[in-house]
Amino acid sequence: MADHKPNILIIEDDPYILRVYERKFQQEGFQITTARDGADGVEKITAAAPDVILLDLVMPKKDGFEFMRDLKRIYPHKNIPVVVLTNLGQEHDVQRAEHLGISSYLLKSNMSIQDVFEKVRDTLHTGKSKSS
């Protein structure tokens, strides 16, 4: 991990969930950029230069799957690790997301906020994203 504060881009449409993420990651010393949906996320990605992305799947305008496609198109060579947190638990959703190159797929309702943070931290440490 780099010496600077790690940058995280959080893309989540539920404002309350978003605020919990913000609080937790601020407390853990992250530099945070937030986006309300996939389209907003794509717009902010250059300025945010994230080391890791925390992504929701079901969102208005542009969902998580579309965001992943855009990310691959805009940065074909930059493997930014993406942690997906969602309540979609269907096998084809997991496979679809994995096919698009995400690092971890987590179910919100099964996790504590500490779990989420640890998963993001571990992903940052291994620093890798599965490239599809």
Partner 1 sequence: MPEMEHLLKHLEEDVKTQGKYHQMLTSIGDGIIALDKRLRVTEINDTALNFFHKRKSSVTDKPYWRFFQVRNEHGKKKDDEIRHALRDLLHKARGRKKVDPKHLKRVYVHIPSEGITPIAVSLALIYSDTGSVQGAVISFRSIEEEVEVSQMKSTFVSLTAHQLRAPLTSIRWNIEYLMGGGAGSLTMGQQEVMRDIYESNARMIRLINDLLNISRIEEGRIRVEPSPSNIKVMIDEAIKEVASQARAMNRKVEFTVDKSATEAPIVSIDKQLIFQVLRNLISNAVKYAATQGGQVKINLSKEKFSYRVSVWDNGIGIPANAKKKIFTKFFRAENANDVDPLGSGLGLYLVKMIVKVSGGSVGFESTSEKGTLFYFTLPLKGSPANLKGKRFSELKQ
Which region among 3-11, 23-31, 36-44, 76-84 touches partner 1 (by CB under 8 A)? 23-31
Closer of 19 and 128 to partner 1 (Cβ): 19
| Per-residue binding letters, 39-78, with partner 1 (x by CB under 8 A) | ----------------------------------------
Residues present in the chain in total:
132
Which region among 17-25, 45-53, 59-67, 73-81 touches partner 1 (by CB under 8 A)? 17-25
Within 94-123, the residues that bind partner 1 by CB under 8 A are 107-116
Give the span between the Cα atoms of 72 and 1, in whole angstroms: 22
Closer of 18 and 53 to partner 1 (Cβ): 18
Nearest to 79 by CA among 38, 120, 112, 50: 50
Question: Which stretch of DSSP H or E encloses residue 33?
Answer: strand 31-35
| Cα atoms in the Cβ-side hemisphere of radius 13 Å centred on 56 | 26
